[in-house]
Structure 1
Amino acid sequence: MQTSLRILVVEADEDRARQIIDALVEAGWSDVHALAQVSGLDRAIRTISPDIVLIDIANPDRDTLEHLSLVSDPKARPVAMFVDQTDDELTRAALNAGVSAYVVDGLTPTRIKSVLETAIARFHVMRQMQSELDAAKRALEDRKTIDRAKGILMRQRGIGEEEAYGLLRRTAMDQGRKVIEVAQALVTAADLLS
């Protein structure tokens, strides 16, 4: 468990916020900040720059979840939300807003440590998956660009696919560039000339 995390707790009830903070400190986290209203989340995130946001709200609504997704940047940090009640639509909306842990039946101090650790772990898994998806998308786009550049060379020079790729590779090595960079330059030039 990482105890050096900066945690932002959003809880309207002052006594309840104190209980949550006490439970966090007891679990080993000492850099804990409290916020009374979700509406101040944007400013608090900019000021405090928390590593994780913990929101305790009895009855979330779609507006709260939309506001959360806009201001909390769930791709930058895990968000754990504790609610007293929900329905399927709100649960989906919370997960679509980037909430890492959505716990129904409220927050109990005895579960806070395990829920936050789960939220952090899920956040890292989701971020890794997103990173891999982005890399796969980039690789696919690069492959398309290289294939397009090969097609241009094949038409212009009357050569085969292997030879076209070899020409791209040699040019890249001669210029100290990546094959994709040479391919992009060729496609851009061909677009300008057509």
Structure 2
Amino acid sequence: MHAESLRIVVVNTAGVLPPEDPETDAAQKNRSATLRIGLLQAGYDIIASLPGDMFLIDRIRQLEPDMIIIDAESDARDVLEHLVIMSQQAPRPIVLFTDDDEPSHMRKAMEAGVSAYVVAGLQSERIKPVLEVAMARFQVDQQVRQELADTRSRLAERKYIEKAKGFLMQRFSFSEEEAYQRLRKQAMEKNLRIGELAQRILDAADLIG
């Protein structure tokens, strides 16, 4: 996906800083400005800048961005928890820019599904390659997850087929090969996967006892 077509939501988790902390305030504003400049220079489409409040999840669901960028002054675990839960239904890459270099926070963020965790030293020209790497990693992760899901599905289907063969062998005195060929023929006639037909047979067998 090219930068020009990537729709991004930026989430700012900064709270209201105390007036006696001007250095932290200045650092936060500088990072946020650098981030926004880098995104615009790279041609990304910032469709919204949102606060990390209680309405965040609903707003993101309405906007359906391609990527979420979190601009965090410190630990952003509350926002991350909500985004990760939402991403289980609609996966998308999450990139976190922060000044928080606490190793435990970094590890938890990556375990939660953050595609890139960028600490301090932010430069506008680095933003595009960071997001490209994050998108590539996200796509690889999704491919691995899909392959794992497919493998689990095939194993489950194989289990149903073996049970259905056993049922037919017991009920109609078929040999194992006859039971399999009967399943295969019926699946083709009904335009079903053989595993799906096997599951239906087992469900029916449960109903009739």
With the shorter chain as reference, the TM-score category is: 0.7 to 0.9
Larger relative contact order, structure 1 or 2 (CA cutoff 8 Å, min sep 6):
2
Q: Would the alpha carbon gap of residues 119 and 38 (structure 1) be closer, same or farther in structure 2, given more than 3 Å must change?
A: farther
Q: For the Cα contact (< 8 Å) 1:168–1:182, is it kept in 2? A: yes
Instruction: Tell me the distance in 1 between the aligned counterparts of 2:188 and 2:88.
Output: 41
Equivalent residue for 1:127? Answer: 142
Whole-angstrom distance in 2 between the partners of 1:38 and 1:104:
23
Pick the aligned partner of 1:42 from 37, 57, 63. Answer: 57
Structure 1 vs Structure 2 CA RMSD = 2.4
Could you report, residue by residue, the CA deviation over 1:95-127 in whole angstroms, capped at 9, with x for unpaired residues?
232211122335332211111111111111111
Deviation larger for 17-26 or 145-154: 17-26
Tell me by how many angstroms 1:7 deviates: 1.0
Task: Judge which range, 32-41 or 168-177, deviates more.
Answer: 32-41
Q: Which amino acid aligns with 2:3?
A: Q
Q: What is the aligned-residue identity percentage?
A: 42
Question: Is residue 114 of structure 2 the alignment partner of residue 113 of structure 1?
Answer: no
- The equivalent position to 1:175 in structure 2, one of 162, 185, 190, is 190
Structure 1 residues 117 and 178, CA gap change in structure 2 (3 angstroms): same
Runs of 4+ with deviation above 6 angstroms: none
Alignment-derived partner of residue 166 in structure 1: 181
The within-5 A match list for 1:29-178 is 29-37=44-52, 39-71=54-86, 75-105=90-120, 107-178=122-193
Tell me, which stretches of 5 or more residues in structure 1 are unaligned? none
Whole-angstrom CA distance in 1 between matches of 2:174 and 2:87: 53
Q: How many residues align?
A: 194
Q: TM-score, normalised by structure 1?
A: 0.86
Q: In structure 1, what is the equivalent of residue 36 of structure 2?
A: 21
Deviation, 1:83, is 2.2
Q: Which region of structure 1 is more displaced relative to structure 2, 164-173 or 91-100?
A: 91-100
1:75 and 1:177, CA in 2 relative to 1: closer, same or farther beyond 3 A?
A: closer
Distance verdict in 2 for CA 1:110–1:49, change over 3 Å: same
- Asked whether the equivalents of residues 73 and 99 of structure 2 are also in contact (C-alpha less than 8 Å), the reply is yes
Instruction: Report the Cα distance in structure 1 between the residues aligned to 2:189 and 2:146, rounded to whole angstroms.
Output: 31
Per the TM alignment, residue 179 of structure 1 is displaced from its structure 2 partner at its CA by: 1.7
Contact 1:83 1:107 in 2 (8 A): no
Q: Deviations over 1:152-187 (max 9, x none)?
A: 111122232112101111222333433223212211
Which stretch has the larger CA shift, 137-146 or 10-19?
10-19
Partner of 2:11: 10
Separation in 1, partners of 2:197, 2:180 = 11
Q: Report the equivalent of 2:23.
A: none
Partners of 1:74 and 1:141 in 2: how far apart?
22
The answer as to whether partners of 1:53 and 1:78 remain within 8 angstroms in 2 is yes
TM-score, reference length from structure 2: 0.80
Secondary structure of the structure 2 residue equivalent to 1:185 = helix
